[in-house]
Chain A
């Protein structure tokens, strides 16, 4: 039984290992430069991994934020516009963090003060942020993009810088999640909100903390987006919102949150999805077929990781 549980628990990690091995084997057989491909994997994964790591705090409480991609885009656009005015990268960095944290605070305070379901608040926020993206691009004058000069961020567009940001943020999150009352109480709230409330844990307080930590990740993700692709358009970070959900689930995080939540799920999931995408590219599959295979593997891995289900009723 213990071995079986261990396999279920380790399924996402094993899945990532299989994908890494698969990537090198397929790449070598097809005569593809795997080192160059690795760079692409890191570039694809790092923004999603950073944003998703922060989002784990929200998911742990059994909540759900669908506006993270749009929030990343708005933060990147405002920060990009600040750079165009000031040509100061530090100010750009601070702006992207502040805007993202502000949006996160607005989400959590709206939900807390007005007693709204968090998910519904984030749906409305998604609409507002998507509109803001259009407005910000129009305000900039060109009507289609906010262009930060690539030379300005060239020095930061390195694997070292990106991995450093991810590692630092991940370390902070691991500390907060596994070694402080913040993580423990959030797991308690996710597992049994009524019981947690009766023991004196404030849902609103921990919800705001979760959103602020997540906002920090969104801000970092926004800055990394500027560094990687300094020409910001409507499609900047457009897929991040859904990729974050996929990454978290793929990494073995239960969507209902609670005690089984894992902080490392986001990083494992983000890198797994990128390796999978790279393997699809190596097979030179039609984009549609590639996405179908990706979907099937996603469901299979999550199914294995979920383990045995003994309930008489279907999960909701």
Chain B
């Protein structure tokens, strides 16, 4: 579908349809059960925290996955970068913004290691990411002797969670993502490599620096995810044997929603709206105190139904055209 050929009204409708539908459904379901979707400040805080975390994870996942590079290690990057930043912040008595900066830098360095291992070994990215996941999880465990990190009593660090801070994080990340991928040479080369790898390389685009850059950007975003998670609870718990990959699965639904919305506007904005959609659904689960097993089943069903629609859209159009032909 050519975005330019659509009218402004259709583009706005296409962009906002899913999040508005999600809001209407979650609002009505909660109302039917006699509960308000947004009642306290805590509800808003939970909504913006979930939006920020899921959006950043979706950015990190999509940067490489859209290029055919499946990366299992993003969860372990979030884990290890938060361990590094929290340990440094505790030892040097730093503030939350300083911890955030260290987390971003640590995430970028871990992304550099991951991307470096990929371009040096030239193994399929999925294999390298399996090895790197084990490596980063092991490193986080070894750094903390398996006890994790706790800073519950450090108000300087646990004071970060607030609606304003989460909104600032969301806006900053969205601007960075749009600037890098839509308005720089790096972004143009990324898109060229994405749509025609061999042609782009033959044209002289340097794939290796671009790939490493992608891993570093994804790592930085996951550094922020690690920071948000750590400052929310004041603790960082350890994971071994791929325990960290669960984080990645939260990003699939928003990524597919973002891809759909991208046809009407901008895919990065789509990822934000996709993250807001999943955050609304999560908030509804919390407000209705639904069992976690029921939550997982409903989320999986939404994902499957949405994918069935996306993968069979052309058949529906054909069916409609066939019906129109038959009608005299």
A→B interface (CB under 8 Å):
110, 114-117, 120-121, 123-128, 130-132, 134-135, 138, 239, 242-243, 245-246, 249, 255-256, 286-296, 298-299, 302-303, 306, 309, 311-316
* Chain B residue contacts of A290, Cβ below 8 A: 138
Count B-side interface residues using an 8 Å CB cutoff.
59
Say how far A297's CB is from chain B's closest CB, in angstroms. 9
Q: Which residues of B55-92 have CB atoms within 8 Å of chain A's CB atoms?
A: 67-69
Query: Which partner residue on chain B sits nearest A114 by CB separation?
Result: B308
* Chain A residue contacts of B137, Cβ below 8 A: 288, 291
Query: Which partner residue on chain A sits nearest B300 by CB separation?
Result: A127
Given contacts A128-B301, A290-B138, 9 further A-B contacts (CB under 8 A): A110-B304, A116-B304, A131-B292, A134-B296, A255-B126, A289-B142, A294-B134, A303-B123, A314-B208
- Asked if A306 and B134 sit within 8 Å, CB to CB, the answer is no
Check: B299 CB closer than 8 A to any chain A CB. yes
A286 and B308 alpha carbons, distance in the complex (Å): 46
Query: Which partner residue on chain B sits nearest A289 by CB separation?
Result: B142
* Chain B residue contacts of A131, Cβ below 8 A: 292-297, 300
Top 5 A-B pairs, shortest CB-CB distance: A288-B141, A291-B138, A288-B142, A316-B68, A131-B296
- With contacts A296-B135, A299-B121 taken as known, whether A287 is within 8 angstroms of B240 at the C-beta atoms is yes
- Asked if A138 and B241 sit within 8 Å, CB to CB, the answer is no
* Chain B residue contacts of A128, Cβ below 8 A: 296-297, 300-301
- Asked if B198 and A134 sit within 8 Å, CB to CB, the answer is no
Query: Which partner residue on chain A sits nearest B252 by CB separation?
Result: A123
Check: B132 CB closer than 8 A to any chain A CB. yes
Check: B170 CB closer than 8 A to any chain A CB. no
A271 and B245 alpha carbons, distance in the complex (Å): 24
A121, A289, A312, A316 interface centre (most CB from chain B within 10 Å): A316
- Asked if A121 and B304 sit within 8 Å, CB to CB, the answer is yes
* Chain B residue contacts of A289, Cβ below 8 A: 138, 142
* Chain A residue contacts of B295, Cβ below 8 A: 131
* Chain B residue contacts of A114, Cβ below 8 A: 307-308, 311-312
Sample of 18 A–B contacts (CB below 8 Å)? A115-B312, A120-B307, A127-B303, A128-B297, A134-B296, A135-B293, A239-B241, A255-B126, A288-B143, A289-B142, A292-B135, A292-B138, A292-B139, A296-B135, A298-B131, A298-B134, A316-B69, A316-B197
- Asked if A315 and B122 sit within 8 Å, CB to CB, the answer is yes
Check: B219 CB closer than 8 A to any chain A CB. no
- Asked if B130 and A246 sit within 8 Å, CB to CB, the answer is yes
- With contacts A292-B139, A303-B121 taken as known, whether A249 is within 8 angstroms of B293 at the C-beta atoms is no
Say how far B211's CB is from chain A's closest CB, in angstroms. 6
Say how far B105's CB is from chain A's closest CB, in angstroms. 21
* Chain A residue contacts of B159, Cβ below 8 A: none
* Chain B residue contacts of A242, Cβ below 8 A: 130, 241-242, 245
- Contact among A125, A306, A312 for B123, CB-based, below 8 A: A306
- Asked if B67 and A316 sit within 8 Å, CB to CB, the answer is yes
Q: Which residues of B270-315 have CB atoms within 8 Å of chain A's CB atoms?
A: 291-297, 299-301, 303-304, 307-308, 311-312
- Asked if A132 and B293 sit within 8 Å, CB to CB, the answer is yes
A239 and B246 alpha carbons, distance in the complex (Å): 12
Say how far A45's CB is from chain B's closest CB, in angstroms. 15
Check: B145 CB closer than 8 A to any chain A CB. yes
Check: B236 CB closer than 8 A to any chain A CB. no
- Contact among B118, B134, B140 for A314, CB-based, below 8 A: B118
A287 and B138 alpha carbons, distance in the complex (Å): 7
A131, A294, A314 interface centre (most CB from chain B within 10 Å): A314
Say how far A280's CB is from chain B's closest CB, in angstroms. 10
* Chain B residue contacts of A245, Cβ below 8 A: 130
Query: Which partner residue on chain B sits nearest A249 by CB separation?
Result: B127
* Chain B residue contacts of A132, Cβ below 8 A: 293, 297
